[in-house]
Structure 1
């Protein structure tokens, strides 16, 4: 954790170090009333009430009011500053964490569940930030809150001071012990919280499936199991925290009892004034209050420490940075040269060779032979284990990522639609496009008439994941998005798999209209969709077992071989 703590501090907190220092100064000024008021109370008792020096009354009253006002203003500024800094850091960290996830290879992000990522980016980030904006500053402030009243008591009676403050040493050991146990249990608790986030995210998106198959009881039982695991871990944390709190409660009682035991007879004998005894009574509370808070702060610090590791793991995701070369696409020829790739040590492509040229290119084969993987590798979703992928002879892993993304579009079998309007979902294909260009793209894919027939037209809300639209309508909108982007290379991953016959025919006709302008790579299981004399890549299991080499070949439809 120490390395994660240092990494977090250097990357995010250090630029705001001057702000933290200023806030600490304000905290110290805010404690002015706390430290001065016992001294004023002592003078009021000994000098004014007992000594009858009434001329000091006004000064004491004025001093009390002045220190109170200064402390109140400083406390407000400090609280506001810490809250603002907390928000700034939270904004900085979550934005960078989000960017890190988006820029990472998909293979790496898929190793974490979506709910766990949410927990890391939001909840764990919040816990980590509080350490720097609240816990550490409070540690520093509490040191001052202990030293100052301790020094004042030493000035008046060092023997009595040592007697009443010595018990503080005996509370350090249990504080360290319970802090270590809290750190261990909280680490497991954070992992369980991430699992709950993931389960809820998955279950809430699959409610229709759960209802159709009558899985409500099964789903509830699975959730109960998740919550039971979380309860078992959390109850252990609660037990340790409560034990630590019970020990801390003794901090107040013991020193006060010692003060009465040893200081009381001194007042009776006249060796200690009533004002000084009152000063000690107040300052004992001022000393041991922060010590008690130390126990709380230490517990919070140890329980929040695992959050640093979980957040740092996000920034350690392998990034798809690409190269620095410019990608220039003229012919749109895509070549896979001796490509190797595996999922979790399960070979998918071995010595894969293929060439895709301008026009229609089809990839066919059994499930699990790597059809979709080819498209994802071309998009640089995953790093290659071996081999090279080139576009017009340019290695895609040496070119700028923005160039690659600009020149390659992909339409997925399950179209990704954001919870927004139809207009917005098409517009993201090219954020610089005008409304006229968006409408033109919709007309080209033959979805304009459908859109304008809706009461709100292009401003119609599609719902989360496009749930308010049919499969065919969603695919046409995704296709319009790709047309608007106007990339020279277009990838289609079984886009007609779940659509009706009319939508399938319409989509295929649109695709064929672009065959002379773009390199189009299509994954399909439907032989009837393949155009004659097209380039066909057959990923049959037999050829794969024999020599692991896949060939690109042009054949009439009647001669195409399907596994």
Structure 2
């Protein structure tokens, strides 16, 4: 028996772990296939709860109770056979009482479903609050939001507590009710059995055997309500999981989609219409043709639709009307993998993954050689910076690249785009968050990246796009103007000319006020990464600070890990 118990426990853990792992794999495969619109509508807490916690709940709740249910089902069948063997009259009464006792269990799901849903929402909000506290710690400190965050978090905890208590109120009566009904059943069995003995219908031995079997049948059922509630929690988690797995992907490959060949001629936006919310167009009948090797700059007021327009090219979102064609082929007719393989995107706030500089750069091309990596570092003006680090390119940069400054992060992202060697490059305000010195370095790296590429560049600093082949002014979702810098400046009362003149009237004042982005936290005082966040000056004059590169870097990296 000991060996069997050990084997059963081991197999239960092994099977449970395998099921949970398999389920999480399926869920993660689904998660990474969703387009950005899905994440726009979801919170980080919801993602963690539905793709991780639900998988644990679904498997753990079932497996922990599976052994009990299987044991009780087979033992109950055997014991009911014993009951009928000793007295069919008493057996009928016992089974009627049994059905009355377990009948409320069929209502468990109805009783707890609404509370479980509300509880899931509250736990999701808790997860989101943890994430916001981690990501927004500087904002919390700078605005003295500690008390506000604590009140918000405590209110959520109170909500979870109240829902848990409410769930107990709705289900805790089941066990006492079953005790009461079963006690009545035992009393009736004793009374009827005594009468049957007096009449000679059954013997006293039959009666003792019947009562023993009845006690063995009823006793485990008195406490089964807790198991049923746990199983219902698991079933509802499984329902939510299947809802996710069965959800269609809004953006996916057509059945007859083919790979995109090399881009040879042009990219055409043909009367493109796009809506985030149905009935409220963000882009209205945009028509643009960009030839291979051309640089098109997109400018205009904030919220005009520039970033949305370039997000349609790699199909982060799908257009609502019109078409986008590459060499005459609609991008919806080619595979997503081949389309995105031909496009490199550098965002304003590039995401760096936990790991080393090397690992983040190799995301652009996992098969790149050391020579390819060295060239990418050189073109992104990262070579001197990387060589100044104690561990060089294998230096850990922390979660989201927290150990790097803004300019350093941008250059790592540019090096990643270099390795990808995509023929189309999208630069979405890649320098707008940088000071003048950092921007100068990053802009030179971007100039290298743009060579011999078809480029879409979005910039609010118009000085960075004067040399573009053409400039498109996008305002309120419409193409307002299109032409070279000189052509647009020649338009009297033109929108580009007005933007340019407004910006450069204030430029001298802004320039004199510009300070290096890290001066608010000098290297020796930086709370997060002294030294590693020290930004470089232009590449031909690397400062000594980067060469010393934070003598305590190794200790900092060790603390971070």
The match for 2:56 among 120, 126, 131 is: 126
Q: Supply the distance in 1 between the matched residues of 2:282 and 2:401 (Cα, whole angstroms).
A: 32
TM alignment of 1:110-259, pairs within 5 A: 110-130=40-60, 133=63, 139=69, 141-250=71-180, 253-257=183-187
1:341 is aligned to 2:341? no
1:165–1:255 CA contact under 8 A, matched in 2? no
Higher helix share: 1
Q: Secondary structure at the match of 1:413?
A: coil
The match for 2:429 among 475, 479, 494 is: 494
Higher normalized contact order (CA 8 Å, seq sep 6+, divided by chain length): 1
Structure 1 unmatched ranges of 5 or more:
1-68
2:428–2:458 CA contact under 8 A, matched in 1? yes
Q: For structure 1, which segment, 448-457 or 80-89, has the greater mean C-alpha deviation from structure 2 after superposition?
A: 80-89
Cα distance change, pair 139–450 in 1 and its aligned pair in 2 (3 A): same
2:425–2:450 CA contact under 8 A, matched in 1? no
Q: Secondary structure at the match of 1:561?
A: helix
1:417–1:466 CA contact under 8 A, matched in 2? yes
Q: For structure 1, which segment, 551-560 or 349-358, has the greater mean C-alpha deviation from structure 2 after superposition?
A: 551-560
Q: Secondary structure at the match of 1:472?
A: helix
Q: Supply the distance in 1 between the matched residues of 2:234 and 2:228 (Cα, whole angstroms).
A: 10
Q: For structure 1, which segment, 398-407 or 164-173, has the greater mean C-alpha deviation from structure 2 after superposition?
A: 164-173
Shift of residue 258, structure 1, vs aligned partner: 5.1
Q: Which residue of 2 aligns with 1:433?
A: 368
Shift of residue 482, structure 1, vs aligned partner: 0.5
2:296–2:468 CA contact under 8 A, matched in 1? no
Q: Supply the distance in 1 between the matched residues of 2:230 and 2:269 (Cα, whole angstroms).
A: 54
TM-score by length of 2: 0.79
2:314–2:340 CA contact under 8 A, matched in 1? yes
Shift of residue 277, structure 1, vs aligned partner: 6.2
Q: Which residue of 2 aligns with 1:53?
A: none
Q: Which residue of 2 aligns with 1:321?
A: 252
* C-alpha distance after superposition, 1:480-501 (max 9, x if no partner): 0000111111111111112232
Q: Supply the distance in 2 between the matched residues of 1:393 and 1:478 (Cα, whole angstroms).
A: 31
Shift of residue 332, structure 1, vs aligned partner: 6.3
Cα distance change, pair 332–177 in 1 and its aligned pair in 2 (3 A): same
Shift of residue 189, structure 1, vs aligned partner: 1.5
- Pairs aligned (count): 487
TM-score by length of 1: 0.79
Tell me the C-alpha RMSD between the 2 structures.
2.9
The match for 1:356 among 260, 283, 290 is: 290
Q: Which residue of 1 aligns with 2:544?
A: none
* C-alpha distance after superposition, 1:320-358 (max 9, x if no partner): 223421211233632211111112243210101112331
Structure 2 unmatched ranges of 5 or more:
491-495, 500-561
Q: Supply the distance in 1 between the matched residues of 2:203 and 2:4 (Cα, whole angstroms).
A: 35
1:490–1:521 CA contact under 8 A, matched in 2? yes
1:407 is aligned to 2:342? yes
* C-alpha distance after superposition, 1:253-274 (max 9, x if no partner): 4455556666689999997567
Q: Supply the distance in 2 between the matched residues of 1:158 and 1:73 (Cα, whole angstroms).
A: 39
